[in-house]
């Protein structure tokens, strides 16, 4: 892409275009090829702002496990374009935590190009103040990519009525023997749980933080650096509650 996108570009519809203009032109996307039968594990901590674009190709039977914490800068976007060959597996576990007027985005296109590949995406967003958090996730299943198994689980928690969450799981399927599950929920903290925790002595801020840690926990499950990710997320949560 050479021209600055506009709101008409679906993939940039919720972006902070002013911030994007300052970042333009974007650096070239990172290219990663995961060789046949191997596993790549990758942690992305986006804590300074900016656009991270990665094109990922998984060869036959390859696996890629991505863990993302998107929480820093006025505008932070993690954009993954993934192509799965036969029997490959892609997993994305992501948390984005925003406050003030931050705009945070996770954008994925996962293409099941060949049969028997699996993909699993878990995205948890916590948004306070005037922050905007967006997940745009397209799963494309090519003709002939039978036995594709894909799953998207997208949840957002709004801490203030002034925060915004956008969630758009999208399926484009050209094969007939596939399983593509997607679930999406946007909500607020449970008032009764908040009261219960405070009745036992937790301050409102600590009660919120505890519930939010639980809310995003799935995003870091299984990561080798899970403790580090949890600590960073906790520090950010404490700053937005």
Partner 1 sequence: MISTPALQDLTMLSITNLHANVADKPILKGLSLSINAGEIHAIMGPNGAGKSTLGYTLAGRPGYDVTDGSVTFLGEDLLALAPHERAAAGLFLGFQYPVEIPGVSNVQFLRESLNAQRKLRGHDPLSGADFLKLARAQADAMGMDMDMLKRPVNVGFSGGEKKRNEMVQMGIIDPKLAILDETDSGLDIDALRVVGDGINRIMRKPDKAVLLITHYQRLLDYVQPDFVHVLAGGRIVRSGGPELALELEREGYKDLAA
Q: Which residues bind partner 1 (CB under 8 A)?
A: 190-193, 195-204, 206-207, 210-211, 213-215, 217
> Which of residues 181 and 193 has its CB atom nearest to partner 1 in the complex?
193
Query: Which is nearer to partner 1, 54 or 212 (by Cβ)?
Result: 212
Give just the sign of the alpha carbon dihedral 172, 67, 40, 11.
positive
CB of 202 to partner 1, least distance (A): 5
- CA 172, CA 161: separation in Å to the nearest integer? 33
Smaller CB separation from partner 1, 18 or 190: 190
Per-residue buried b or exposed e for 175-203, using 16+ beta carbons within 10 Å of the residue's own CB: beebebebebebeebeeeebeebeeeebe
Q: Which is nearer to partner 1, 203 or 231 (CB)?
A: 203
User: Nearest approach, Cβ of 192 to partner 1 (angstroms)?
Assistant: 5
| Burial of residue 231 (number of CB atoms within 10 Å: 0-12, 13-18, 19+) | exposed
Query: Of 174 and 196, which has the nearer Cβ to partner 1?
Result: 196
Min CB(211)–partner 1 separation in Å: 7
CB of 217 to partner 1, least distance (A): 5
Compute the Cα dihedral for 10, 133, 231, 215 and give only its sign: negative
How near is the Cβ of 232 to partner 1 at its closest, in Å?
A: 18
First to last CA, the chain: 37
């Amino acid at each position: 892409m050479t021209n600055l996108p506009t709101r008409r570009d679906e993939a940039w519809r919720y972006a902070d275009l002013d911030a994007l203009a300052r970042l333009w032109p974007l650096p070239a996307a990172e290219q990663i090829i995961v060789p046949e039968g191997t596993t790549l594990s990758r942690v992305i901590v986006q804590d300074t702002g900016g656009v991270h674009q990665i094109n990922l190709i998984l060869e036959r039977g390859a696996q890629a496990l991505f863990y993302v914490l998107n929480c820093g800068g006025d505008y932070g976007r993690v954009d993954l374009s993934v192509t799965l060959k036969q029997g490959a597996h892609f997993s994305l576990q992501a948390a984005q935590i925003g406050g003030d007027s931050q705009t945070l985005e996770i954008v994925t296109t996962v293409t099941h190009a060949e049969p028997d590949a699996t993909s699993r995406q878990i995205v948890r967003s916590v948004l306070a103040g005037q922050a905007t958090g967006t997940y745009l996730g397209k799963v494309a299943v090519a003709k002939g990519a039978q036995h594709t198994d894909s799953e998207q689980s997208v949840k957002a928690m709004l801490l203030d009525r002034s925060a915004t969450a956008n969630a758009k799981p999208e399926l484009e399927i050209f094969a007939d023997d596939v399983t593509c599950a997607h679930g999406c929920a946007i909500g607020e903290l449970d008032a009764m749980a908040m009261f219960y925790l405070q009745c036992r002595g937790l301050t409102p801020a600590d009660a919120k933080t505890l519930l939010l840690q639980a809310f995003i926990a799935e995003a870091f499950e299984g990561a080798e650096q899970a403790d580090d990710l949890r600590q960073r997320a906790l520090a950010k949560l404490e700053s937005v509650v």
